[in-house]
Amino acid sequence: MAQRFLQLAEVSEILNISSAQAYALVRSGELPAIKIGGRGQWRVEATELEGYIQRMYAETKSFVQAHPFGGGADD
């Protein structure tokens, strides 16, 4: 059975980013997460991480379309 919730360390490994960057994504609300336990440890639902990844693909596609490579005035 696949894990439902991931620790921030796992999120940072999956996205190949630092733990501080994963924490910043969660604290900013860009990556939805929950805080659990007496020490308030963050957990990210696997489906939320996948949704975030898909949103980043869509944003990147829009950016690339709006800023085509080699489309400068020197062409």
The pLDDT confidence band at residue 2, using thresholds 50, 70 and 90, is: confident
Q: Locate 40 and state its tokens.
A: 């308030």
> CA 75 to CA 55: how far, in whole Å?
32
CATH fold, domain 5-66, is: Multidrug-efflux Transporter Regulator; Chain: A; Domain 2 (1.10.1660)
Q: Report pTM.
A: 0.83
Reported confidence tier of residue 71, pLDDT bands at 50, 70, 90? low
